[in-house]
Amino acid sequence: MSVAAAITEEKTSPAQATAGRFGAYGGRYVPETLMAALEELEVAYAAAQADPAFHAELNGLLHTYAGRPTALYYAKRLSETLGGAKIYLKREDLLHTGAHKINNALGQGLLAKRMGKQRIIAETGAGQHGVATATVCALLGLDCVIYMGQEDMQRQEPNVYRMRLLGAEVRGVTGGSATLKDAINEAMRDWVTNVRSTYYVLGSALGSHPYPTMVRNFHRVISIEARQQILEAEGKLPDAIIACVGGGSNAIGAFYEFLPDTSVELIGVEAGGRGTGLGEHAARFQKIGGGTPGVLQGTYSYVLQNDAGQISSTHSVSAGLDYASVGPEHAMLHDSGRASYVSCSDDAALKAVVTLSRTEGIIPALESAHAVAEAIRIAPTRSQTDIIMVNLSGRGDKDMGILARELDLKGASDVS
């Protein structure tokens, strides 16, 4: 469906024309068979949001099961080594299952249960969302099917074993580039077929309304905590917040409570991959060779596509950032200038993994390392009274295979 046709269709209902919109972006571009499911979800989510019992149960699990609140840690040795701004890390990597994804998986898992859906499906890229969903299904006694690209299954093999151990069925997807986009296609196909019994746990602030809003709200807790924590630690707000942007869920969660604080610079970091040409990266907001507005997988946002509207292939060393589109709220923040978006190459991210590991004893996920790399780049240019907060979205355990290969850890005496 062309963008123009999709927009015309959206305008058939005036109420729907604004529902789930972030400026011009967002919306609901799905086949008719999924419209009813999305409306059912929207109603159920609104009811859950208004129900104190839902929040009490979710907050209880976030606290006792997932490990919230996560620490806000002053990275003293890293900051002093760089010799500029003070760098703080919001430690989402310390959460159960190793990344921020559990915030959203718990929220949607409880919602599915409320809706009486016994069967859960999800897509996964890096495997972190699949692991988080499989975990929540085990916790809540729900059946779980995870779609994952074959390419990603190879890159993130330990996570495949984790999901199976947790009782989930992992279905490999071979179509297209066999990565996240193709896994989402398969999950959507499954949902169309089994819509009555099945709840689709979407893993990022992507897709059709109400997902981008709902997923953001489940991750808002990151900035709610961080705002209070930095005020306690420093008596002022940070000067900049940096987060990596795949679909955009950890970034929007880390940004959200700071949106009205215009003194706080918000910086999203996309995957710069191995070059600036289409196909070499996943930097949707890159000025040349980047994305343009279009529809992918149910939402209108920036999309990496060629002149004919064919979705471009993408590349990143980190599976979690390797996606051709981006959450629609980021598209709005980009256009308005409230947030800025930069990219970081595979090489710079790999270097940042080593730097953070050796200055702080913290091994970041390759995705998170993109945000760390940007902090490493800008901190020396800032004053020592400046504060930079990095959202450390996950830990690097899942990446050990790639790190061992890319950093030559298999016997060489040094890698610096």
Name the minimum Å distance from CB 70 to ligand PLP. 13
Among 149, 394, 399, 402, binds ligand PLP (CB under 6 A): 394
Name the minimum Å distance from CB 61 to ligand PLP. 19
Instruction: Determine if residue 386 is left, alpha or beta; phi over 0 gives left, psi from -120 to 50 gives alpha, anything else beta.
Output: beta
Q: Which is nearer to ligand PLP, 360 or 382 (CB)?
A: 360
Tell me, by CB under 6 A, how many residues bind ligand PLP: 21
Write out the binding residues for ligand PLP, residues 136-195 only, by CB under 6 A: none
C-alpha span between 268 and 274 (Å, rounded)? 18
**How many Å separate Cα 306 from the centre of its chain?**
24
Please choose, out of 1-9, 106-114, 123-131, 407-415, the segment that lies near ligand PLP by the rule CB under 6 A. Answer: 123-131
DSSP letter at 69? S
- Is 219 in contact with 140 (CB distance < 8 Å)? no
Of 90, 92, 117, 123, the active-site residue reads: 123
Q: Which is nearer to ligand PLP, 6 or 363 (CB)?
A: 363
Is 212 a binding residue for ligand PLP by CB under 6 A? The answer is: no
Is 333 a binding residue for ligand PLP by CB under 6 A? The answer is: no
Of 86, 90, 101, 351, the active-site residue reads: 101
Please choose, out of 15-23, 183-191, 238-246, 349-357, the segment that lies near ligand PLP by the rule CB under 6 A. Answer: 238-246
| Binding map of ligand PLP across residues 63-92, x = CB under 6 A, - = no contact | ------------------------------
Q: Which is nearer to ligand PLP, 123 or 190 (CB)?
A: 123
Name the minimum Å distance from CB 148 to ligand PLP. 12
Is 130 a binding residue for ligand PLP by CB under 6 A? The answer is: no
Name the minimum Å distance from CB 300 to ligand PLP. 18
Beta-strand pair 387-392/86-91: parallel
Name the minimum Å distance from CB 97 to ligand PLP. 9
User: What dihedral do alpha carbons 161, 152, 202, 68 form, nearest 10°?
Assistant: 60
Name the minimum Å distance from CB 239 to ligand PLP. 22
Query: DSSP labels for 160-188?
Result: HHHHHHTTPEEEEE-STTSSHHHHHHHHH
Is 103 a binding residue for ligand PLP by CB under 6 A? The answer is: no
Q: State the residue for tokens 């004893």.
A: 361
Of 301, 312, 393, 398, the active-site residue reads: 393
257 as an active site residue: the answer is no
Name the minimum Å distance from CB 79 to ligand PLP. 22
113 as an active site residue: the answer is no
Residue 245's closest CA among 226, 219, 271, 266?
271
- Name residue 147's beta-bridge partners: 123, 171
C-alpha span between 202 and 180 (Å, rounded)? 12
Residue 241's closest CA among 375, 43, 132?
375
C-alpha span between 373 and 379 (Å, rounded)? 10
| Binding map of ligand PLP across residues 358-387, x = CB under 6 A, - = no contact | -------x-xx-------------------
Order across the sheet with 387-392: list the strands: 72-74, 86-91, 387-392, 240-244, 265-273, 339-345
Q: In the structure encoding, which two tokens stand for residue 315, read together?
A: 């590349």
Q: Which is nearer to ligand PLP, 114 or 220 (CB)?
A: 220
In Å, how far are 132, 218, 231 from 224, measured between CA atoms?
22, 11, 11
Strand boundaries in 282-358, DSSP class E: 292-296, 299-303, 339-345
Name the minimum Å distance from CB 51 to ligand PLP. 26
Please choose, out of 243-251, 286-294, 300-308, 403-411, the segment that lies near ligand PLP by the rule CB under 6 A. Answer: 243-251
- Name residue 114's beta-bridge partners: none
Write out the binding residues for ligand PLP, residues 293-332 only, by CB under 6 A: 320-321
Strand boundaries in 68-218, DSSP class E: 72-74, 86-91, 119-124, 143-149, 169-173, 198-200
Write out the binding residues for ligand PLP, residues 246-265 only, by CB under 6 A: 246-251
90 as an active site residue: the answer is no
Residues with catalytic function: 101, 123, 393
Residues in the site for ligand PLP, rule: CB under 6 A? Answer: 99, 101, 126, 128-129, 204, 244-251, 320-321, 365, 367-368, 393-394
